[in-house]
Amino acid sequence: MQAKDIMTKKVFTVTADMPIKELAQFLLEHRISGAPVVDEQGSFLGLITEKELIEQNKKLHIPTVVTIMEAVIYLESLKHFEQELKEMLATRVEDLYLREVATIGEDTELEDIATLMSESSAELLPVMRDNELVGIVGKADVVRAITRQ
């Protein structure tokens, strides 16, 4: 079985300028766990999932610092802290969506899809044909396919 056999062909997409509150409502209304982010021409930009929305609401971890002779030394990654802060203050999809996303082709085999999902912790895999989004495969699609085999 291949991606083209199990993918959802009617893909609900969102744009980067969509407000976060609208995104949450959109996901609930359509009963989906995430959506591809596309530009005005429909070109694939990345992916936004419930996970990013949930992480936006987690507690902020303040990095440990040490001061020596008026110099501040961060014992943890300042860049990571800045990213967490940016995510917490996000107001639009563009502030949260994943830009580096694993994608698959229509001919990707079920076993390869399962392996990729497992190894990358991906919940959704966009299905691409010549840089065009043609479908999406989620965990539920994989489970349904496994039961049909």
Nearest Cα to 3, choosing from 148, 104, 89?
104
Average pLDDT over residues 25-53: 92
- Residue with the bigger pLDDT between 149 and 77: it is 149
Average pLDDT over residues 2-31: 93
Number of domains in the chain: 1
Give the pLDDT score at 10: 93
Q: Which tokens in the block code for residue 4? A: 């083209």
- Residue with the bigger pLDDT between 15 and 74: it is 15
Supply the range of the domain harboring residue 133.
3-148
Residue 65: φ, ψ to 5°? -130, 155
Lowest mean pLDDT among 22-26, 75-79, 99-103: 75-79
> With 80 as the cut, is the pLDDT of residue 2 above it?
yes
CATH of the domain at 21: 3.10.580.10
